Amino acid sequence: MIPGLGEGDGPHRLGVADAEREAQLLSKVVKTISAGLDLDRILQGVAQLVTETTETDVCFVHLLDEQGRKLQLRGATPPFDTMVGTIELALGEGVAGWVADHGQPAVIVDNKASDPRYRYIPALRGEEFTSMLSVPVVTPMGHLVGVLNVHTRLRREFTPADVELLRTVAGLVAGAIENARLHRRLAEREEALERFAERMVEWQEHERRRMAGEIHDGISQRIVSLFFHLSAAADALPGSPGVAAEQVARAQELAGAALDETRSAIAGLRPPVLDDLGLAASLESLGHGFPTLDVQVDAPALAMAEHAETAVYRTAQEALQNAAKHADAQSVRVRLYRQKDRAVLEVTDDGTGFDMADAPAAGAPGGPTGFGLSGMRERAELLGGRLELTSSPGRGTTVRLSIPYLPSAQC
């Protein structure tokens, strides 16, 4: 038996012996918790109903935070409703903390101050109340989500039926809390997905502009010049074959350059080496493309989804380019590995490093014109990953990309 629990024959009973009243309370609780998903309103409504129907003077609903470390007062009857959100208890602290810790109800009939579990919180004016009943709020799956307390001004012996009723109410509230939390998590995911879709569209636009720029400023300019050189050659051919030959040679050079630019524009969409060699060998071959750097690559074959491989390759490419352009580095280490459900790429150079406070994000006022760092970061976020940059003057730079590991479709 719970200490302090009466036999149910005292002058004050929670009204729980009254089956009809009990049924009414439960049905009102169900109505309140089905009215919507705003958790604070539900808890407020439940606190009110519990005191009204059980003839207690005040009801407090303490919720366990999502880390399961502390209880927060989230529902209370007036005048304590203004205290909601301002009171916190550690697990084990106060009667509510004890109930949360032990997963058992607690009854204190009188003389609270002498109970070792009791902690006086001035704002909750414990001195005005004599008896209390506290029950854990436990979900049908057995997870503790909070504690429900009722207090009375007059001395009251709580009966086992009182405890049972309050536990039943707590069980209903627990379901509502779980639903509200699930609903919030779903809403957050939906928002993240919307942001993802928006960024995807922006990224596509950005890529289209880049391609248009490359075709307009590079390839088509060369084809125009090529056309003029060929026309000049055609004009010169009858009378001045020497001039015509010169023009043809120039046209050949331009055709070669246009071809190179076409290749690099295509490579800008998806690096062809990835298809030919796979990611690990592509990173090796990328390293050979920086003759001033000693690049060591340590990359096992991870068989990742194509878009994830492209992101890793691009990040390594930009990090190596930065190491070659800005860092005055001698050697760079490229490491690719799997860490649980994530793929991690680390590119570390031994160069000058830089003070990140002095390198505001691209596009920010006074920031660099470069888009390398912000592009890497956006790409990482787009895949639900993160990009971390560690650098300080004189100590080199490490770029760390961590993205969810997605196996390739062939796996």
Ligand X SMILES: Nc1ncnc2c1ncn2[C@@H]1O[C@H](COP(=O)(O)OP(=O)(O)OP(=O)(O)O)[C@@H](O)[C@H]1O
> What does the block give as tokens for 11?
């002058």
What CA–CA distance (Å, rounded) separates 408 from 95?
Answer: 54
In the list Mg ion, ligand X, none, the entry touching 258 (Cβ below 5 to 8 angstroms by class) is none
In the list Mg ion, ligand X, none, the entry touching 359 (Cβ below 5 to 8 angstroms by class) is ligand X
Minimum distance of Mg ion from residue 321's CB (angstroms): 6
Q: Which is nearer to ligand X, 190 or 294 (CB)?
A: 294
In the list Mg ion, ligand X, none, the entry touching 53 (Cβ below 5 to 8 angstroms by class) is none
CA distances (Å), origin 264, targets 132, 196, 215, 271: 76, 28, 11, 9
Minimum distance of ligand X from residue 340's CB (angstroms): 28
Q: Is 385 helix (H, G, I), strand (E, B) or coil?
A: coil
In the list ligand X, Mg ion, none, the entry touching 349 (Cβ below 5 to 8 angstroms by class) is ligand X
In the list ligand X, Mg ion, none, the entry touching 400 (Cβ below 5 to 8 angstroms by class) is none
Return the residue nearest Mg ion (CB atom): 372
Q: Which is nearer to Mg ion, 149 or 317 (CB)?
A: 317
State the residues that interact with Mg ion by CB under 5 A.
322, 370, 372
In the list Mg ion, ligand X, none, the entry touching 32 (Cβ below 5 to 8 angstroms by class) is none
What CA–CA distance (Å, rounded) separates 330 from 140?
Answer: 61
Q: Which is nearer to Mg ion, 244 or 323 (CB)?
A: 323
Q: Is 338 helix (H, G, I), strand (E, B) or coil?
A: strand
Q: Which is nearer to Mg ion, 175 or 375 (CB)?
A: 375
What CA–CA distance (Å, rounded) separates 132 from 130?
Answer: 7
CB 405 within 8 Å of CB 304: yes
Q: Which is nearer to Mg ion, 171 or 375 (CB)?
A: 375
In the list Mg ion, ligand X, none, the entry touching 216 (Cβ below 5 to 8 angstroms by class) is none
Q: Which is nearer to ligand X, 147 or 347 (CB)?
A: 347
Q: What's 292's DSSP letter?
A: T
Minimum distance of Mg ion from residue 307's CB (angstroms): 22
In 190-326 the beta strands, taken as DSSP E runs, fall at 294-298
Q: What is the DSSP string of 15-55?
A: STT-HHHHHHHHHHHHHHHHS-S-HHHHHHHHHHHHHHHHT
Half-sphere exposure for 213 (CA within 13 Å, toward CB):
7
What CA–CA distance (Å, rounded) separates 220 from 227?
Answer: 10
**253 Cβ contact partners less than 8 Å away, ≥ 6 residues apart:** none
In the list Mg ion, ligand X, none, the entry touching 283 (Cβ below 5 to 8 angstroms by class) is none
CA distances (Å), origin 41, targets 122, 171, 218: 25, 17, 62
State the residues that interact with ligand X by CB under 6 A.
322-323, 325-327, 349, 351-354, 359, 362, 368, 370-373, 397
Return the residue nearest ligand X (CB atom): 370
Q: Which is nearer to ligand X, 221 or 352 (CB)?
A: 352
Minimum distance of Mg ion from residue 221's CB (angstroms): 25
Q: What's the longest Cα–Cα distance across the chain?
A: 126
Minimum distance of ligand X from residue 389's CB (angstroms): 8
- At position 281, the amino acid (one-letter code) is A
Instruction: Report the number of secondary-structure helices (H) and strands (E) in the chain.
Output: 10, 11
Minimum distance of Mg ion from residue 343's CB (angstroms): 22
Closest CA to 80 of 101, 54, 51, 100: 51
In the list ligand X, Mg ion, none, the entry touching 175 (Cβ below 5 to 8 angstroms by class) is none
Order the strands of the 88-90 sheet from edge to edge. 88-90, 70-76, 58-64, 144-152, 131-138, 106-108
Minimum distance of ligand X from residue 272's CB (angstroms): 22
Minimum distance of ligand X from residue 262's CB (angstroms): 21
Q: Which is nearer to ligand X, 75 or 353 (CB)?
A: 353
Minimum distance of ligand X from residue 368's CB (angstroms): 5
Q: Which is nearer to Mg ion, 22 or 346 (CB)?
A: 346
